[in-house]
């Protein structure tokens, strides 16, 4: 109605605009209902299978395996060794066979690894199983992010990334609830206590992954639950935003062996983008906090409330995760509304900074427990950073590379985070808290600096574009340049 009043001399044009907007809304709603819940559930159990080690530790795993010294940290690190080294190869395999096939298959793999963890009896065995778990989980986060980018526009992507990455803090909440419930069971066969946590959660993961094999469409052009005109609209709006050919949009998600020189060059463009590298380093710093929070929150809660029962300590971990989930969704929702990402790095990181100051300056248990709620804001940067690197490249191949590089940086941060809290630094963990205070402060400085650089470089590109237009560029070379093309502008 507002549009009709503004342009009364063109009523039919206004009706057409409103009609197109309604069609996009219906299309987006269908994708939200058919795609996001499926990948969100898979990532939920991905993170549960990863983070349940912290729940198992305070449930007797450390005593049964006779862990001493740094052995728990070593088990955590064995996961990240394979996780980091196989990150980019996993995304290449994903693009080769298509994410709709790769994502369920790799989920089955890490579910089986979780089941196997229930049967380990020594620390070396636990390290070996966690190494395999990391190998199967390596491509999960970037592959889902890349998969969603096949369906959603730049502005829409951040919020949809949040809707699946939010399962990471929810996994911490559900993990504590599930672990508390499982521990009340007497036994499952010959399995008791912490072993049942891995067994039950692993079996559920495998079952869900088997179902999703039949639920995920390969791309916007092969969705059975969209009408032909909706499939055309889904591809056309992405083509208009990204400048891709109709055939490229149609083929997205169908697998690509990256054999052609052009595709390989575009993949390298994604890996080497200055925004990919700088935002990736920010994600690394944030992941130090995220992974330390996931793996050590149960241990930290036990030092805060040492007289509580194990089940009560598990349940104390739930509320901070729920706050983290809220922060992630709210920040990403505002990002969608404004089509901005970089500016939303600051609010959540500031809360994390305050939380670690509280940890370092107070020994009051209520203050320290309150600090965990502020620190949980660290989860908000996951969807924001992935959406930011995806928004600042052009081609499908370049985008898959940028997302995988960003996630690889994050998992390097996870490896660092697994060593920030050590037993001899308990109960106040001043070293771990100080490290995370420093990473949060660095994120605030870097995110501001990158934003200023993007604005300055865009102005410089305005001048270079005129010169490039005068001289001309071969068409094939223009396609390969991606973010290096003179007409490209960074999107904050």
Half-sphere exposure of 36 (CA within 13 A, CB side): 21
Q: What is the 3-state secondary structure (H, E, C) of 416-481?
A: HHCCCCCHHHCCCCHHHHHHHHHHHHHHHHHHHHHHHHHHHHHHHHHHHHHHHHHHCCCHHHHHHH
Contact between 139 and 93 under an 8 Å Cβ cutoff? The reply is yes
Q: Does domain 27-218+253-484 have CATH number 3.40.190.10?
A: no
Give the pLDDT score at 14: 41
Q: For residue 188, report the phi and psi dihedrals to the nearest 5 degrees.
A: -125, 105
Task: Give me the residues paired with residue 263 across strands.
Answer: none
Secondary structure (DSSP) of 99-152: HHHHHHHHHHHHHHHHHHHTT--SHHHHHHHHHHHHHHHTTHHHHHHHHHHTTS
* Alpha carbon separation from 25 to 31, 32, 156, 234 (Å, rounded): 10, 10, 11, 11
Distance between CA 307 and CA 303 in Å, rounded? 9
Residue holding tokens 């996931």?
294
Distance between CA 167 and CA 176 in Å, rounded? 13
Distance between CA 440 and CA 112 in Å, rounded? 36
Residue holding tokens 């209902």?
33
Residue holding tokens 């989920």?
107
| Structure tokens, 173 | 């909440």
| Structure tokens, 428 | 């106040």
Q: What phi-psi label fits residue 323: left (phi over 0), alpha (psi between -120 and 50 degrees) or beta? A: alpha
Q: What pLDDT digit, counting tens, does each position of 205-248 carry? A: 999 999 999 899 988 888 888 888 888 888 888 877 765 554 55
Distance between CA 98 and CA 254 in Å, rounded? 5
Closest to 429 (Cα-Cα) out of 371, 348, 380: 371
Instruction: Report if pTM > 0.75.
Output: yes
| Structure tokens, 134 | 């990391």
* Alpha carbon separation from 332 to 273, 290, 361 (Å, rounded): 23, 17, 31
User: Between vectors from CA 261 to CA 256 and to CA 266, what angle results, nearest 5°?
Assistant: 70
Closest to 234 (Cα-Cα) out of 225, 244, 226, 242: 226
Distance between CA 330 and CA 166 in Å, rounded? 11
Q: Which residues of the chain have pLDDT under 70?
A: 1-20, 242-262, 466-480
Distance between CA 172 and CA 320 in Å, rounded? 9
Burial 402-422 (b: 16+ CB within 10 A, else e): bbbbbbbbbbbbbbbbbbbbe
Distance between CA 215 and CA 237 in Å, rounded? 24
Structural domain boundaries of the chain? 27-218+253-484
> Kind and range of the H or E element at 306?
none
Give the pLDDT score at 261: 52
Contact between 141 and 87 under an 8 Å Cβ cutoff? The reply is no
Closest to 461 (Cα-Cα) out of 484, 480, 481: 484
Give the pLDDT score at 392: 92
Distance between CA 42 and CA 38 in Å, rounded? 6
Residue 392 burial (CB count, 10 A)? 26
Give the pLDDT score at 471: 60
């Amino acid at each position: 109605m507002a549009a009709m009043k503004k342009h009364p001399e063109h009523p039919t044009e206004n009706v057409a605009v409103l009609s197109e907007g309604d069609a996009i809304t219906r299309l987006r709603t269908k994708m939200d209902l058919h795609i996001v819940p499926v990948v969100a559930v898979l990532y939920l159990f991905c993170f549960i299978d990863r983070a349940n080690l912290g729940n198992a530790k305070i449930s007797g795993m450390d005593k049964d395996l006779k862990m001493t010294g740094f052995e728990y940290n070593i088990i955590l690190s064995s996961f990240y060794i394979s996780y980091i080294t196989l990150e980019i190869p996993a995304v290449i395999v994903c693009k080769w066979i298509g994410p709709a096939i790769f994502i369920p298959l790799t989920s089955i793999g890490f579910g089986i690894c979780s089941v196997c963890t229930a049967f380990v009896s020594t620390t070396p065995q636990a390290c070996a199983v966690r190494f395999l778990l990391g190998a199967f989980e390596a491509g999960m986060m970037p592959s889902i992010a890349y998969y969603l980018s096949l369906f959603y526009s730049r502005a829409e992507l951040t919020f949809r990334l949040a809707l699946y990455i939010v399962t990471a803090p929810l996994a911490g909440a559900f993990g504590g609830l599930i672990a508390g419930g499982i521990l009340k069971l007497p036994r499952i066969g010959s399995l008791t206590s912490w072993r049942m946590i891995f067994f039950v959660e692993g079996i559920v993961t495998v079952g869900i992954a088997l179902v999703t094999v039949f639920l995920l469409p390969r791309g916007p052009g092969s969705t059975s639950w969209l009408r032909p005109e909706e499939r055309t609209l889904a591809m056309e709006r992405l083509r208009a935003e990204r400048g891709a050919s109709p055939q490229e949009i149609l083929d997205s998600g169908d697998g690509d062996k990256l054999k052609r020189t052009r595709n390989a060059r575009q993949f390298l463009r994604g890996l080497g983008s200055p925004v990919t590298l700088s935002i990736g380093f920010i994600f690394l710093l944030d992941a130090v906090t995220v992974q330390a929070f996931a793996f050590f929150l149960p241990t930290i809660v036990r030092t805060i409330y040492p007289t509580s029962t194990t089940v009560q300590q598990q349940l104390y971990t739930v509320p901070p995760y729920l706050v983290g989930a809220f922060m992630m969704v709210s920040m990403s929702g505002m990002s969608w509304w404004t089509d901005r990402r970089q500016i939303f790095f600051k609010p959540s990181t500031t809360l994390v900074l305050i939380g670690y100051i509280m940890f370092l300056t107070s020994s009051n248990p209520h203050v320290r427990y309150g600090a965990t709620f502020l620190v949980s804001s660290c989860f908000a940067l996951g969807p924001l950073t992935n959406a930011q690197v995806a928004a600042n490249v052009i081609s499908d191949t370049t985008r898959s590379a940028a997302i995988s590089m960003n996630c690889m940086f994050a998992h390097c941060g996870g490896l660092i985070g697994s060593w920030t809290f050590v037993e001899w630094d308990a109960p106040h963990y001043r070293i771990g808290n100080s490290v995370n205070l420093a990473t949060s402060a660095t994120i605030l400085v870097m995110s501001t600096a990158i934003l200023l650089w993007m604005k300055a470089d865009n102005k410089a590109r305005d001048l270079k574009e005129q010169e490039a237009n005068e001289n001309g560029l071969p068409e094939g070379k223009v396609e390969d340049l991606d973010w290096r093309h003179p007409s490209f502008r960074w999107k904050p």
